[in-house]
Structure 1
Amino acid sequence: MELTVELVKAFVANGEGGNPAGVVLDADKLSYSQRLTIAQTIGFPETAFVSRDTEADFKVSFFTITEEVDFCGHATLAAFSVMHQKGILPAGIYKQNTKAGLLEVQVNSDGMVILTQKPPEELGTYKAEDICDLIGLSRHLLEETNLPIKAISTGLADLIVAVPSGQLDSIRPNHSAIIEFCQEHSLIGLHVFELCSHGQGLSARCRNFAPLVGIPEESATGSSSGALAYYLTKHVAPSDGFLFEQGRAMKCTSHIHAYVTRHQESVAKIAVGGMAKHVGRQHVVVQAT
């Protein structure tokens, strides 16, 4: 059986950079093993599989090269952008059914896709001495930020780690240690950031490491960006919107917008958005089941 996989770069910055994702439309009849085989053949961080659904407009599943994950921001952006560009979806608000729940996706007429995430959930606080060896920075450098190290989920559980300005490019991730740590604490990966000055036009620069699910480093991570927006609103300064840069260390700079809706003193809604670029398609042959 031959299938067409759309190849997309999500969260592009001025049409460049972005994080690659595969998108398979009309995936209703594909089994788990077929989806995993397709994701492994494409070899991108994630591939999204879009199916019909009775509860939402679409059911979407997400596969890395090693396994299915509950949610993926950049692959959601890729999937809905492709459907908009193909004329399947006009601008509007849609719902996708994922393993992380029923989530809203807004498609704008200019191609911007904004995806609502699960309400943020704090999963624990960690000490700098437990994290420093994972990223190759000293405990004192991590403590210098005076910001907590917290596990937060808006669909996937990530560890949010602040480093002093100018230190992000100095990170030397220990992938085997990160895998062991994430397995022990039920995390997907580490999302490390440095704050930017107001004149730079960015809220923060980020790097994301998720070797546990086959991603040594990722150039744009939607789910982690939502968690970071919540973290910054709570621990740095409340804001309705953030702009994050990711992927510079990979020479694949990406821009992720994040939006926070607050009600009184609490966060009511988290969303991330960006632009995507269709870069081609690949035909994949899978064995029938």
Structure 2
Amino acid sequence: MNEVLRYTAFTTTPTGGNPAGVVLDARELSDAEMLAIAAELGYSETAFLHPTDERQYRIQYFSSLAEVAFCGHATIAASVALGERIGPGTVNLATQAGPVPVEIAADPAGEITATLTSPPASTRPASEEEEVRPVLAALGWSADDLDPAYPAHVANAGNDHLVLAAASRGRLADLDYDFEALGKIMADLGWTTVHLFWPESPTVFHARDPFPPGGVVEDPATGAAAAAFTGYLRTLGRLEDGAVLTIHQGVDMGRPSLLTCSTIPGDSRVKVSGTAVPIQ
């Protein structure tokens, strides 16, 4: 009861991906106790599951600083941990952002992949004066560092993320920002991450996600931002229904991660797939 597991998501090796804490039965824990566990672990998020019925769970996510409505990588980590114990199939998670079904599958070698269906995705253009310029200043970027083919938006698939396209792979790789300044902007505007990306091709992207609200400089893999970003691309008309998107994240910080996203025909939600492995 209340055992704290440690997994890293969107990778097949313990040295890659994004670490997350997982508590598979948190029914006896208070919010204050969950926050304390998350803070002690120091990961960007920890997932706490409250079983309600067979393969049905209420789930809460805590960063080191606060509760968050939805977290993709902790969902993948928790679902793989569940799959190792209860086997393949669908589990249904009730999050603050809405219902999130997760399909758990195992290949012949026993490797488990979890595919979550995000809350509905939406996006809107970002304000140049009130949102984009202050963030560029905190990043130490100029307007010339952005790719005009991808307009700045605030995208959501469970929580808000500012989406900015880097003009080059080199610009994306060279990230050294003002943590306090960006953190204040994000806190004031209610953003979870700033999703910085560079397009290698129409369906392959490289991304970095500064995450001051979670108390960390950068997230190595961000499933919620990946879902929001996929919805953003679809709204821009850059993805067809059923298109599959590959996102490489964490490479520049030494924790390579692989996220696979797909749109759903006739549905604003997004599927996000990944693996996870225990951290010893």
TM-score (normalizing by structure 2): 0.90
Given that 2:263 and 2:269 are in contact with CA atoms closer than 8 Å, whether structure 1 keeps it comes out as: yes
Given that 2:10 and 2:276 are in contact with CA atoms closer than 8 Å, whether structure 1 keeps it comes out as: yes
1:109 corresponds to 2:106:
yes
Separation (CA, whole Å) in 2 of partners of 1:71 and 1:136 = 29
Give the one of 146, 151, 176 matched to 1:148: 151
Q: Secondary structure at the match of 2:265?
A: strand
Q: Secondary structure at the match of 1:274?
A: strand
Q: Cα deviation per residue 1:168-202 (whole Å; 9 max; x = unaligned)?
A: 0122222112112112222122010000037xxx6
Once the two structures are superposed, the pairs formed by residues 221-240 of structure 1 within 5 Å of their partners are 221-235=222-236, 237-239=238-240, 240=243
Which deviates more from structure 2 when the two are superposed, residues 57-66 or residues 117-126? Answer: 117-126
Separation (CA, whole Å) in 2 of partners of 1:139 and 1:13 = 37
Given that 2:12 and 2:276 are in contact with CA atoms closer than 8 Å, whether structure 1 keeps it comes out as: no
Separation (CA, whole Å) in 1 of partners of 2:262 and 2:71 = 17
1:243 corresponds to 2:242:
no
1:193 corresponds to 2:197:
yes
Q: Cα deviation per residue 1:76-100 (whole Å; 9 max; x = unaligned)?
A: 1111101111x22x21122101111
Aligned residue in 2 for 1:214: 215
Which deviates more from structure 2 when the two are superposed, residues 72-81 or residues 14-23? Answer: 14-23
Separation (CA, whole Å) in 2 of partners of 1:241 and 1:16 = 26
Given that 2:249 and 2:256 are in contact with CA atoms closer than 8 Å, whether structure 1 keeps it comes out as: yes
1:124 is displaced (CA, Å) by 4.4
What are the ranges of 5 or more consecutive residues in structure 1 without an aligned counterpart? 281-289
Q: Secondary structure at the match of 1:52?
A: strand
Aligned residue in 1 for 2:160: 157
Separation (CA, whole Å) in 2 of partners of 1:72 and 1:269 = 15
Aligned residue in 1 for 2:204: 203
Separation (CA, whole Å) in 1 of partners of 2:205 and 2:245 = 8
Letter in structure 2 aligned against 1:11: F
Separation (CA, whole Å) in 1 of partners of 2:189 and 2:54 = 32
Q: CA RMSD in A?
A: 2.0
Letter in structure 2 aligned against 1:129: R
Q: How many residues are treated as equivalent by the alignment? A: 270
Q: Secondary structure at the match of 2:21?
A: strand
1:269 corresponds to 2:269:
yes
Q: Secondary structure at the match of 2:141?
A: coil
1:91 corresponds to 2:95:
no
Separation (CA, whole Å) in 1 of partners of 2:213 and 2:42 = 15
- Aligned CA distance change for structure 1 residues 13 and 150 (closer, same or farther; 3 Å): farther
Separation (CA, whole Å) in 2 of partners of 1:29 and 1:76 = 20
Percent of matched pairs sharing the same residue: 28
- Aligned CA distance change for structure 1 residues 13 and 191 (closer, same or farther; 3 Å): farther
Aligned residue in 1 for 2:30: 31
